[in-house]
A and B are shown apart, each in its own frame.
Chain A
Amino acid sequence: MIKRKLPSIRMIFMMVILACAGITPAQAGDVTGLRGGVPLDGAERSPELTKWMPDSHALPRAYLQQPPLVPHQIESYKIDMRQNKCMTCHSWSKAKETRATKISLTHFRNRFGSEMSDVSPQRYFCTQCHVPQKDAPPLVENTFKPVEAIK
């Protein structure tokens, strides 16, 4: 019984110390989120409308192991239990006739390392990694530069 009580006593002790040090949630506002310091109950200005980049050919990669970007519009392309619109062109059985890029061989391997006969469930949702592009300013300013070696 005494052993079990000990942690909770410690917890109370630490909370008292933290409270004395003045670290309360109210002062966590120093960190600016993507909302740009707009309070949760405040109205944010509506984001600028941007358009998807027009269809083009394969886009260059910016870093090693980067999932290739989608160089075309994919609006209204559904990926769900019934259908995967991407696979109507990018699957191995269709890629040749549609002149699309085949999905990677790695996408047939499941999480246990077994090779499947079709795309692995963990790789099924293409847009988790492969995204189309918008001509929009970055949400957060940064100094990122593409890797020279794969340019």
Chain B
Amino acid sequence: MNLFEAIADLAKRKTWPVLFTFLGLGVIFLGGFQWALAVTNTEQFCISCHEMEENVFKEYRDTIHYANRTGVRATCPDCHVPRQWQHMVVRKIQASNELLHKVLGTIDTPEKFERKRLELARHVWEAMKKTDSRECRNCHNFNSMDFTRQGIRAFDFHERGFAQNKTCIDCHKGIAHTLPRGMTVADDSSHMQ
């Protein structure tokens, strides 16, 4: 039975209404899924939790990714949620763990957050190292950088760092948030020849 015959067969049996119903449901489901992804990928959603608003968001407002001369801002999801669909979904699934700890109140006071900060920061550093700072590179591309337009120090470090396969997070820890207390020598991956 070829495709045309199959369609003709379906038409005869009057299964069109059933098909359209499923098609409609599919559109609603997929549309809703994408909508939910879009809504949860906003700064407003992130800081609707006081854990984020009171600690990391406040610190970030002093940094270059929030306050700068060009008016381009990198908001929470720009750095913390992957853009590529497959990676984004993985991150969203991992976020269910964050929901659990929101309910448990694991970091619901600044003091509790401070006590956990080193561990949480290490998770993020590890992830960024593993992905070769993928989220940074959505905007900052090595290949598009004009070293001659950078400062003397940035020129030198970038040239050497790229040659030694460094990734952004190796040197740029704590650019958007306060560094945690209790960091050890092992946390510093910025060493270069």
Contact = CB atoms under 8 A, between A and B. Distances in A.
Interface of A: 54-57, 72-73, 76, 78, 81-83, 88, 94, 97-99
Contacts of B157: 98
A83 B151 contact: no
Interface size band for B: 10 to 19
Contacts of B77: none
Interface string B162-190: 00000000000010001111010000001
Contact of B152 (A56, A78, A98): A56
Contact of B192 (A73, A88, A97): A97
A99 B192 CA distance: 11
B48 interface: no
A57 B151 contact: no
15 contacts: A54-B151, A55-B152, A56-B152, A57-B152, A72-B151, A76-B62, A76-B63, A76-B64, A78-B178, A81-B181, A82-B178, A83-B178, A83-B179, A97-B191, A97-B192
A55 B153 contact: yes
Interface of A, secondary structure class, is loop
Interface of B: 62-64, 151-153, 156-157, 174, 178-181, 183, 190-193
A91 to B, nearest CB: 11
Contacts of A98: 157
B152 A72 contact: yes
Given A76-B64, A88-B190, A82 B151 contact: no
Contacts of A55: 151-153
A97 B62 contact: no
Contacts of B192: 97
Nearest to A100: B153
A81 B183 CA distance: 12
A122 to B, nearest CB: 21
Contacts of B62: 76
